[in-house]
Amino acid sequence: MAQNVGCTAMAKQTLSAKHRRFKELARQHGTPLMLISRSVLRAQIDRFRRALPRVEPFYAIKANSHPEVLKAMVAAQASYDVASVAEMDQVFAAGAKAEQIIFANTVKPAESIAIAAKKGVSLMTFDSEHELDKIAEHAPGARVLVRIKVPNVGSIVELSLKFGVDPADATSFLIKAYKMGLQPAGVSFHVGSQCTRLENFIEACEIAAIIARDARLKQLPFEIVDIGGGFPIRHFDYEDDPFDRIAALLRGELDRLFDKHIRVIAEPGRFMVGPAATLVMSVIGKAIRENKHWYYLDDGVYGSLSGQVFDHCKYQFKYLRSGHTQLSTLAGPTCDSFDIIARGEDVPELQIGDLVYVENIGAYSTASATTFNGMPMAKVLMVP
């Protein structure tokens, strides 16, 4: 019993220390403030590699392309999934090499393909004959992966609505790529963002394995399976963390379905950077509306909480102040009534200047933030 009491006291002390740290950093740097932990970034990379040792991570930089995040990925010897020349230049600036990059946008401007080829980036995805034509013309000899459509059932964002060829046509596309002087390297797919349904991964891998066998029968140089992203993270303390369970089963399926000589890569973004960041905001206004407290924060859905709009994400809001709580509304700082962050939140009575924070917000937050109404974006601060 004494041991349990001691553990509880230690937890309270740790939480208090975290809150004191937030207050001090907010005092020094102001708010809104996005704190990104280097140690958590490294821990997520290590966790991914331990759970899926056969899978090479190509960090999807669209999740968060802050230069310090990219430098941390370079230090960890990760590779990169980029969707544009601008993203390509960012990873080169961080110290990446051309062979560490996959140009994984299936609809690329012709000039971007040519620039990528000049920079030595030769691994690209496609999902149409028109894209093959552009790649063959502007990056002759490039290695290409055909992106296939796979089930996205239950994923927060369904990506097969916009991308992917019918799996039955995949081998025909690879043959055509070969005839056009390209190197058909394999297939890619994406099971949907924030995917907690293991069956999506298993079904997609089984489809890819059928294509791999068919390609080998036709003497095609099939060498890569890109299993995409979609690896989930927790946003609420009470949620289950399904990654280890998914990874354990996926690890077995990859070994069962694919020969050892087939290279398996993935494009994790959210999983790598999501848990590494905490957003700290200040209360800048309050009111009583609709018989509820309204608290106005200095960041909102046009800023770091843009993931609520573009990523269909929900966040857990936490407070440094405790006490009796009331169902309240949180709103952002802009002059647009769309900028309402959350209704019906259980919130202790806050005062102007109080801090509100959100954890696990490193992905698709600052990446899609704007300066609408001239509101400044959150300052990014790297912490240990």
Place of tokens 């790649």: 135
**Is residue 10's pLDDT more than 80?**
no
Q: How confident is the model at residue 8 (pLDDT cuts 50, 70, 90)?
A: very low
CA 179 remoteness from chain centre: 35
Do 282 and 26 meet the contact criterion of CB atoms below 8 Å apart?
yes
pLDDT at residue 136 is higher than 70: yes
What residues does each domain of the chain span?
A: 22-36+275-383, 38-274
pLDDT at residue 192 in the model: 80
Taking only the tens place, the pLDDT of each residue in 352-367 is: 999 999 999 999 999 9
pLDDT computed for residue 290 by the predictor? 85
Q: Record the pTM.
A: 0.91
For residue 197, the cross-strand partners are none
Q: Is the pLDDT of residue 195 over 60?
A: yes
Across 334-368, b (16+ Cβ under 10 Å) vs e yields beeeebebbeebebeebeeebbbbbbbbbbbbbbb
For residue 82, what pLDDT is reported? 98
- Cβ-Cβ contacts under 8 Å for 3 (sequence gap 6 or more): none
Q: What is the mean pLDDT of residues 31-38?
A: 98
Active-site residue (options: 7, 195, 205, 335): 335
Q: What is the pLDDT of residue 158?
A: 45
Strands 277-289 and 143-147: unpaired
Cβ atoms of residues 230 and 194 within 8 Å = yes
Q: What is the pLDDT of residues 55-93, one digit of tens each?
A: 999 999 999 999 999 999 999 999 999 999 999 999 999
Which letter, b or e, does each residue of 161-191 get, where b requires 16 or more Cβ atoms within 10 Å of its Cβ? eebbbebeebbebbebbbebebbbbbbbbbb
C-alpha span between 218 and 75 (Å, rounded)? 40
| Structure-block tokens of residue 253 | 């399926």
| CATH number for the domain formed by residue range(s) 38-274 | 3.20.20.10
Average pLDDT over residues 277-294: 96
Say what the pLDDT of residue 161 is: 55
Q: Look at residue 193 in the predicted model and tell me its pLDDT.
A: 78
**Would you say residue 275 has pLDDT above 90?**
yes
Place 1 in a pLDDT band, splitting at 50, 70 and 90.
very low
Which alpha helices (DSSP H) does 77-150 contain, by range?
A: 85-94, 110-118, 129-138
> Does residue 153 have a pLDDT over 60?
no
Does 132 have pLDDT greater than 50? yes
Of the pLDDT bands very low, low, confident and very high (cuts 50, 70, 90), residue 373 is: very high
The more confidently predicted of residues 348 and 14 is: 348
Q: Rounded mean pLDDT of 143-163?
A: 69
pLDDT of residue 5: 38
> What is the rounded distance in angstroms from the CA atom of residue 75 to the CA atom of residue 42?
9
Burial of 139 (0-12, 13-18, 19+ CB in 10 A): buried
pLDDT in tens, 227-253: 999 899 998 998 888 899 999 999 999
Per-residue pLDDT at 250: 94
Average pLDDT over residues 138-151: 94
Decide if pLDDT at 212 tops 70: yes
As a whole number of angstroms, the distance between CA 147 and CA 324 comes to: 52
205 counts as catalytic: no
Q: What is the pLDDT of residues 85-114, one digit of tens each?
A: 999 999 999 999 999 999 999 999 999 999
Residue 340 is encoded by which pair of tokens?
């309402």
140: preceding bond cis by omega (within 30 degrees): no
pLDDT at residue number 382: 97
22-36+275-383 and 38-274, same CATH topology: no
pLDDT of residue 141: 97
pLDDT over threshold 80, residue 159: no
Q: What percent of the chain has pLDDT over 90?
A: 85
- For residue 4, is pLDDT > 60? no
Which residues, including other chains, have CB under 8 Å from residue 348's CB and lie 6 or more apart?
319, 321, 322, 323, 324, 325
**Domain spanning 22-36+275-383 has what CATH number?**
2.40.37.10
